[in-house]
Amino acid sequence: MLSGSHSDDEDILHIEIHRDGTGFGFSIRGGAEYNAPLCVLRMAPEGAAERDGRLRVGDELLEINGNSTEGMGHADAITIIKHGGDIVKLTVRRLPESLSGRMSAVARGDLVFVWELVAWTEQCGVKTPLTCASH
């Protein structure tokens, strides 16, 4: 069972991704030691997660293989993913659609409306430092 409260307008998704020859095809950021939720940071081009099409940059991981991520450290999350076999089962909370594209752009390094993302993370109680460099 998931702990915490979720508003009615949030999307909670259950996703299974099958490992391919190079892995699951996504990387994560955050963890208890950073006082930040575990979230999808990047998707590997042509990787298993991108080909599956359901997981997105910015999705918050609520459960990994049935384990709640509340209070979970980054290394523990990686261990659960790597040692869980050829399928990873994720329960994720989706960013509001208005910000998900901007989060993808930030992950690529584009200079976009970062202040809107900061406002959203503060509204959700997430303390995440965002850095931004212009090219």
pLDDT tens-digit profile of 21-74? 999 999 999 999 999 999 999 999 999 999 999 999 999 999 999 999 999 999
Closest by Cα among 80, 83, 38 to 59: 38
3-state secondary structure of 75: helix
Closest by Cα among 133, 7, 31, 132 to 80: 31
Q: Which amino acid is at 69?
A: T
Greater model confidence, 113 or 16: 16
Residue 96: pLDDT band with limits 50, 70, 90? confident
* Contact indicator for 85, 16 with CB cutoff of 8 Å: no
| pTM of this structure | 0.69
Q: How high is the pLDDT of residue 104?
A: 52
Predicted confidence (pLDDT) per residue in 2-12, tens digit = 444 444 556 89
